[in-house]
Amino acid sequence: MQVVIVNEKSKKKRLNKILEWLIYMVGYAIVLICVSVLFKKTIYIDPSCFGLWGLIAAIIIYILNKTIKPILVWLTLPITALTLGLFYPFINVFILKVVDFILQDHFVIDGFLMSFVVACMISLMNALMETLIIEPILRRVK
């Protein structure tokens, strides 16, 4: 099984899409479950099925980040530029609210502030995953 894919046009090495997807899914699910345990009154993930709803929410967040987020970033580029990038986390808040709407009673975030905190934690987790997990794997494979 080959772990690294080399794109011929850019010569940039990447992880296998499935492996990268699994790493991000586990990271998103861990962040969501930890936040729901820490802030029980403001974020709720249905505890049935041993965290399955946290994983489903993570999958939906990942899909929305890959499909809708680039469109939202492009549409809100003038606002993001005027606010010197401070508007960018609000796109993540919007995505979390969409997930809240999709999963109804199984994933509930009360309040704008908690959505903002979770969005910032997911952004931080993305940066940490990239630097602590994905880049070392790519360096080892070289």
CB 57 within 8 A of CB 26: no
| Higher per-residue pLDDT: 133 or 101 | 101
pLDDT band at 142 (very low <50, low <70, confident <90, very high): low
Handedness of CA 61, 1, 7, 135 (dihedral sign): positive
pTM: 0.78
**Residue 106 CA to chain centroid, in angstroms?**
18
pLDDT the model gives residue 59 = 92
Residue range 27-84, pLDDT digits in tens: 888 888 888 888 888 888 888 877 788 889 999 998 998 899 999 999 999 999 999 9
Element (H, E) at 89: helix 88-103
Query: How many structural domains comprise the chain?
Result: 1
Domain range for 101: 4-141
Intra-chain end-to-end CA distance of the chain, in Å: 15
pLDDT in tens, 117-129: 888 888 888 888 8
Task: Spell out where the chain has E strands.
Answer: 4-6, 13-15, 43-45, 107-109
Place of tokens 């580029």: 77
